[in-house]
Amino acid sequence: MELQELYGLMDRFAASGLTALEWERGEEKISLRREGTTSLTMAAPAPVPVSSVPEEQEEGEVVTAPLVGVFYAAPAPEEPPYVTAGAQVKKGDTLCLIEAMKMMSEVPAPADCVVEEVLARDGEAVGVGAPLFRVRRL
DSSP, collapsed to helix, strand or coil, labels residue 108 as: strand
pTM value surpassing 0.85: no
Q: Which domains are delineated in the chain? A: 3-33 (no CATH), 41-137 (2.40.50.100)
Summarised one tens digit per residue, pLDDT across range 80-129 is: 999 999 999 999 999 999 998 888 999 999 999 999 999 999 999 998 89
Question: What Cα–Cα distance (Å) separates residue 81 from each residue in 31, 65, 77, 97, 108?
Answer: 40, 17, 9, 10, 14
DSSP, collapsed to helix, strand or coil, labels residue 73 as: coil
Q: Which helix (H) or strand (E) holds 100?
A: strand 94-100
Is-contact 136 62, C-beta < 8 A?
no
